[in-house]
Amino acid sequence: MPAAIVLGTQWGDEGKGKAVDYLADGMDLVVRYQGGNNAGHTIIAEGRLLKLHLVPSGILYPHITSVIADGVVIDPAVLLAEMDELTQAGLDVSRLLISGNCHLIMPYHLALEKVTERFLGKNALGTTKRGIGPAYADRAARIGIRVQDVFDEKIFREKLDVALREKNAVLAKVYHRLPLDADKIVSEYMAMAERLWPHVADTSKLLHEALEEGRNVMLEGAQGTMLDLDHGTYPFVTSSTPVAGYALASSGIGPQRVERVIGITKAYVTRVGAGPFPTELADHDGDRIGERGQEFGTTTGRKRRCGWFDAVVLRYAARLNGLSEIFLTKLDVLSGFERVRMCVGYRADGQDWDDVPPHQSLFHRAEPVWEDLPGWSDEISDAHTFDDLPAPARAYVRRVEELAGVPVSVVSVGPAREQSLPVPA
């Protein structure tokens, strides 16, 4: 049963790119299972800095087949540009396979998201404006266009005409924008189809066969558990489903295949955009974490909100995803604090909570119950083993395990592959 799911346990940006890159070494296939080019993985591998938005991080290894599964939405122009960039960096992208069932991001998705976000004013969600939400909405409304549709121009044209009839009316009559031209879209997408064709495959069948042969498959999520469409802080969430269950639905494989569920967890918490965030720091400590951790979005460059570690959120993620282990990232960022804080519970409306409150208004009002731990002054990014870490840093990791009820298998102390320390049981 050699499938492993790797996902974020917070609000995204947990350092999944680095963790997946480290874990990918022992894998044969790496599968991206949701989201679109709103995710950004920054990876440093063999001294090279690479930013990936759509292509699974497995692409860095010559022995790995990288797969984009059904539940991902694809902007073909972005995907092709990313493939070109990787090729220029000397990587072989011929092993990238895309499901024909993936939905396409169309020019009207981008156009509409831009105007609707503006229309929402102070209620705007702060989306990345890449057309991802509108593409998922059309998928659910069954007027989406899929990768496989571009290989039949007649079908593509028919579906486009149906979609454009409504989209152009909305763009022109509601938002006073120019309507989009169908012929232009057809010629652009047909040109891109030619380049995509060699990469399109029946990925669910391929994964099934790989698993039957005992090959190792890693299913890689984007964003994080607290941004899940159902289980996150709706509506301040992403438009797809990062939790572990969806890895299977999207890839088209069964639950009995999964052996490990690895939760990527940052040693503190960050969040981009609006929505509840109980441990947020509006003080010098928050700025310091943001600066040391370089907390600016890979895709958007936006400054992230920063706060202390939240064990309630991690316990919630452990429960929702059935985590078997934790990969704890960016512990090095916490070096130099006299004391480090962990949120071990919430207080809201005079009541104590040891889990995420079931009502969002309570979550908005939740005040952290803090536990203070001694900090460590030494930089730890050159540690080679877990035992090299100062005692307070090791104690911090052990406390994370206790509070989550899940073992930490690896601690990351820097962005490079080798700055990953296996944790003894």
Enzyme catalytic residues: 13, 41
The residue range among 157-165, 186-194, 356-364, 406-414 that interacts with ligand GDP, by the rule CB under 6 A, is: 406-414
| Strand order across the beta sheet in which 200-201 lies | 200-201, 96-99, 65-68, 29-32, 217-220, 3-8, 258-266, 325-329, 408-412, 420-422
Cβ 30 vs Cβ 64: under 8 Å: yes
Among 8-16, 243-251, 254-262, 272-280, the segment contacting ligand GDP (CB under 6 A): 8-16
Q: Rule CB under 6 A: say whether 412 interacts with ligand GDP.
A: yes
b/e string for 13-52 if b means 16 or more Cβ within 10 A? bbbbbbbbbbbbeebbbbbbbbbbbbbbbbbbbeeeebeb
Which of 127/329 has CB closer to ligand GDP? 329
Q: How far is the CB of 363 from ligand GDP (least distance, A)?
A: 23
Q: Return the residue of 31, 74, 244, 413 that touches ligand GDP, per CB under 6 A.
A: 413
Secondary structure letter of residue 77 according to DSSP: H
Give 134 or 415: the residue with its C-beta nearer to ligand GDP.
415
User: Between helices 107-120 and 132-140, what is the axis angle to 10°?
Assistant: 110
CA–CA separation, 82 and 69 (whole Å): 17
The 8-class DSSP code of residue 416 comes to B
21 is a contact residue toward ligand GDP (CB under 6 A): no
Q: Which is nearer to ligand GDP, 106 or 281 (CB)?
A: 281
Q: How far apart are CA 266 and CA 272, in angstroms?
A: 14
Instruction: Please give the Cα distance from 275 to 180 (Å, whole number).
Output: 34
Q: Contact with ligand GDP (CB under 6 A): which of 9, 18, 257, 327? A: 18
Q: What are phi and psi of 277, to 5 degrees?
A: -160, 85
Closest approach, Cβ 79 to ligand GDP, in A, equals 17
105 interacts with ligand GDP by CB under 6 A: no
Out of 6, 226, 415, 423, which residue is the one contacting ligand GDP (CB under 6 A)? 415
Residue 16 contacts ligand GDP per CB under 6 A: yes
Point out which span in 37-45, 133-141, 241-249, 402-410 binds ligand GDP (CB under 6 A).
Answer: 37-45
Residue 349: CB minimum distance to ligand GDP, A: 33
> Residue 191 and residue 76: Cα distance in Å, rounded?
10
According to CB under 6 A, which residues from 44 to 103 bind ligand GDP? 44
Q: Which stretch binds ligand GDP (CB under 6 A): 15-23, 60-68, 201-209, 211-219?
A: 15-23
| Positions in 302-331 near ligand GDP (CB under 6 A) | 329-330
The token pair at 284 is: 């010098």
Does 36 sit near ligand GDP (CB under 6 A)?
Answer: no
CA dihedral sign of residues 68, 74, 78, 79:
positive
- Shortest distance, position 110 Cβ to ligand GDP, whole Å: 22
CA distance 93 to 60: 9
d(CA 16, CA 38): 14
Which tokens in the block code for residue 30? 């790496």
Span interacting with ligand GDP, options 16-24, 159-167, 276-284, 313-321, rule CB under 6 A: 16-24
Closer Cβ to ligand GDP, 203 or 329, answer by number = 329
- Show the DSSP H helices in 231-283 as ranges: 244-251
Quick check: 277 and 99 in contact, CB under 8 A? no
Q: Within a 13 Å sphere around the CA of 257, how many CA atoms are in the beta-carbon half?
A: 25
Nearer to ligand GDP, 39 or 135 (CB): 39
| Candidate residues 42, 204, 300, 324; the one interacting with ligand GDP per rule CB under 6 A | 42
Among the listed ranges 80-88, 274-282, 369-377, 409-417, the one in contact with ligand GDP (CB under 6 A) is: 409-417
Q: Which of residues 253-312 bind ligand GDP (CB under 6 A)?
A: 294, 298
Task: Note whether 226 binds ligand GDP by CB under 6 A.
Answer: no
Distance in Å, CB of 381 to ligand GDP, minimum: 7
Residue 13 in contact with ligand GDP, rule: CB under 6 A: yes
Nearest to 339 by CA among 314, 316, 367, 372: 372
Q: How far is the CB of 102 from ligand GDP (least distance, A)?
A: 20
CA distance 23 to 324: 15
Q: Tell me: does residue 32 bind ligand GDP (CB under 6 A).
A: no
Minimum CB distance to ligand GDP smaller for 238 or for 329: 329
Beta bridge partner(s), residue 412:
420
Decide if residue 130 touches ligand GDP (CB under 6 A): no
Where do the H-state alpha helices sit in 252-359?
Answer: 284-292, 311-321
Binding residues for ligand GDP, per CB under 6 A? 8, 13-18, 39-42, 44, 294, 298, 329-330, 332-333, 412-415
